[in-house]
Every structure is written in structure tokens, then in C-alpha cells.
Amino acid sequence: MKYTILSFVSIILLVSCNKYNNFKSYNIIEMDSLNEELQEIICNYITNNSDNHSFVLVTDVDYIKGDWDIKNRVFLLGPSYQRLFEWGEDSFTGYPSAVMKTENAVVFIHNPIDAITKNEFSRNNYEKQDIPLPDSINSYVRFMSEAIAICVFRNSADIISNQVDTLLLKKVIPFDVPSIKVESQ
């Protein structure tokens, strides 16, 4: 489990290339370096959301289901909305410092290292590609409502939820179940 994310972070940190002029200071991840199942999931998501031109793959998601801790194995993939990485309670921390280009879109890759850096270059490039939203819309909640959750293992990947907001937002939006009195007849 730790080796998977460590390998992924190592790839992100070690791979860099000047192939894309707009992203020359980014860590560039080549799509074909991902396992085939993850590639297929990303490509299908981009195809199904062709109205968007940029996306985010968040790789530092904490998710525990029962006794099964799959921390650092769950990735989120969704649109790269404006204000998604601003510092605050309803956002991810730090702007993505890695990017992957496909034929039709840019996929920003957010990883744990981004949380400890304040890279203005990453922020400026993200903001050039992000999808604008009105100020009244919370970009984090919107992202969660449109993102998918992917469980990634060494050589495989599966979508575990098409409704990430119901999977993870319970931490963001508290819900108190009202008490219900049942009268016996």
C-alpha cells in the first residue's frame, strides 16, 4: 500500500520534461506510464465529460471503509474547477505540481507533496486552465458531486464510486438524523 503511493510520488518527482511549453516547470506524467486499467478509466471519464478541457486527479485521499483502510489507494478524478485548491476548509491544499496531457484535455495530478509547497508557477498554470464557476458555487462541493473515486492497486484500478459526494462529503456537511417516534398501534 505504501509502496504504491511511494512509487507514484517518486515517478512524479523524478519525471520532468520540456515537451509541453506551457508546462515546462511541471512534472510531466506520460499517460502510457500508468497501468492500462487506470488509463482506460481516465480516458473514459474525459470522453464522457467532453464539455470540460481540464481535470484533476487527486491522489491523497483518506478513505476507510469498516476495518479496511485503503488510505493512499483511492484517487479522485473530476473537473479542475476554479478555487478548488485555495487554502480553506472546503478545498484541497496546494496546487497540483504534476500534469498529464491527453489528446483532448489536461489532467492535473495533485499529490501529497503539493500540500507542503506554495508553488506560484503551479497556481498560475492551473488558473489558466481551470473551469470558471460563479462565486456563489462552492468548487469543492461541485467537484465532489461530479468526481469519481478510483481504487488503484499495482496493476489494476476500479471505479468504486460514481457519487463521491455521498462517499466522502459526510465529513464536510454534517447531518444530524432527527429522532423519530414510532407509536405502537
> What is the rounded CA–CA span in Å between residue 131 and residue 24?
21
Spans of the chain below 70 pLDDT: 1-26, 62-72, 87-91, 118, 166-185
CB-CB contact of 8 with 113 (8 Å): no
Q: Which pLDDT score, from 0 to 100, does residue 61 have?
A: 72
What pLDDT shows up at residue 122?
A: 83
How many Å separate Cα 148 from the centre of its chain?
Answer: 9
At 101 the pLDDT is 87
Give the pLDDT score at 16: 40
One-letter identity of residue 182:
V
Q: In terms of DSSP bridges, do strands 98-101 and 27-28 run parallel, antiparallel, or are they unpaired?
A: parallel
pLDDT tens per residue across span 47-72: 999 999 999 998 877 665 655 555 55
